Amino acid sequence: MKRGLILSLILVLMIMVVGCGKKQKTMICSISGTNAEGREYSNEYVIKYTGDYVDELKITEKIKSDNQTYLNTLKKAVETEAKPFKDIKYYDYDVEIKGNEIIAHRTVNYKKIDTDALIKASSANKALIKDGKVKLDDIKKLYESYNFKCE
């Protein structure tokens, strides 16, 4: 009887400890407006994080323009910028032109990606990646320095 009570108590304690793990949360950083050339833009960065560290980043960037040549040039620039990352697993991107708008998506899964490969592809990643992880505060400060609102 005592043994059964003790085992039940241990089981309950184990369930409580395992069930109290940190849960993934989401922060969204966004900015929109009109640039110097009069083109409307909107950027939304969805940051999934657990505790103090970023798990995943999903970026959507849009620019509207009636100038198709500008949109095509911008598309080529985005593709060129993303080229060093094309063979890195868990880094995905696409860019498309729909009507008078260019839409670029990027997804980076920091929990699974080879962060050394990210740094090799672009040394700018050194500023965010420390010990193979990205701190939430660091990424938030970076985006806020570009006038994004993060909530």
Listing DSSP states for 25-89 in one string gives EEEEEEEEEE-TTS-EEEEEEEEEEETTEEEEEEEEEEEE-S-HHHHHHHHHHHHHHHGGGTTST
Query: What is the three-class DSSP state of 146?
Result: coil
For 93-151, write each residue's pLDDT tens digit: 999 999 999 999 999 999 999 999 999 999 999 999 999 999 999 999 999 999 999 99
What's the CA angle centered on 53, arms 48 and 57, to 5 degrees? 35
Boundaries of domain holding 43: 23-150
Domain containing 136 — which CATH number? Answer: 3.30.1830.10
What pTM was computed for the model?
Answer: 0.83
The tally of domains found in the chain comes to: 1
Q: Which residue has the higher pLDDT, 133 or 22?
A: 133
pLDDT at 9: 41
Measured distance CA(108)–CA(112) in Å, rounded: 9
Is 60 exceeded by the pLDDT of residue 79? Answer: yes
